Homo-oligomer: A and B are copies of this chain.
Amino acid sequence: MNNKPLLEYINKFISLTVEEENILLSKIVHRNYLKDQYIAQQGDICKSANFINSGCTKTFYMDKEGQEHIVMFSIEDWWTSDLGSFITQTPGDFNVQCLENSQLIQFTHDNLEELYKQIPKLERLFRKIVERAFVASQKRIIRNFSLTAKERYQIFKKTYPKIDQRVPQYMIASYLGITKEFLSKIKSQLIYNQ
């Protein structure tokens, strides 16, 4: 039951009293998932927002052709969920799946609403978290439009070196919006040109 990473994370945004921390901890659930297990499934209502204590997940969309499109990887000290489904409590567009055995701290929708009532400061915390996520998402749209696949890959490697090493290449290709074959070509070009 390691709550330290979560509390330290929260403390970067807002400060909680000891009582508030205890209220918060009373409303969370620790949960272990195995590699390949699903945390959320396209078409289902997403039941939890999850803080990652350890492990790694991918959030992806499966299109009508059965092709996977990864929107996001998440690792330790970050969140994972189908946020759209979670906040509206309606069937979601995304799958969230563990890429490694993962230790998560889960906030259910009801518990989080309850927490917002008891500790209004948490609204601020989650506002800030989502603000940052939104900004990153906007920047990604721009990058996809204004940069080539090679440039996007180089930025990805620099920005997320940990993820680059932990995740199979064909998933990184999916995240970059290209095929695994083309990513392979890019990598060989990069090796040749240095």
Chain B nearest CB from A29 CB (Å) reads 22
Contacts of A177 in B (CB 8 A): 144-145
Question: In the bound complex, do residue A83 and residue B120 qualify as a contact, i.e. CB atoms below 8 Å apart?
Answer: no
Secondary structure of the A side of the interface?
A: helix
| A59-97 interface code vs B (CB 8 A; 1 in, 0 out) | 001010001010110000000000110010000011000
Complex Cα gap A94–B126 (Å): 24
Stretch among A18-26, A32-40, A129-137, A185-193 lining the B interface? A129-137
Complex Cα gap A141–B127 (Å): 21
Complex Cα gap A128–B141 (Å): 21
Complex Cα gap A93–B127 (Å): 21
Contacts of A142 in B (CB 8 A): 61, 69, 71, 93
Task: Say if the beta carbon of A138 comes within 8 Å of chain B.
Answer: yes
Contacts of A126 in B (CB 8 A): 127
Complex Cα gap A137–B139 (Å): 10
Task: Say if the beta carbon of A123 comes within 8 Å of chain B.
Answer: yes
Question: In the bound complex, do residue B137 and residue A138 qualify as a contact, i.e. CB atoms below 8 Å apart?
Answer: yes
Chain B nearest CB from A149 CB (Å) reads 12
Task: Say if the beta carbon of A156 comes within 8 Å of chain B.
Answer: no
A-side residues, CB < 8 A to B, are 61, 63, 67, 69, 71-72, 83-84, 87, 93-94, 116, 120-121, 123-124, 126-128, 130-131, 133-135, 137-142, 144-146, 177
Can you sample 12 A-B contacts with CB below 8 Å?
A: A61-B142, A69-B145, A72-B138, A83-B131, A83-B134, A83-B135, A84-B139, A126-B127, A130-B131, A130-B134, A133-B134, A140-B141
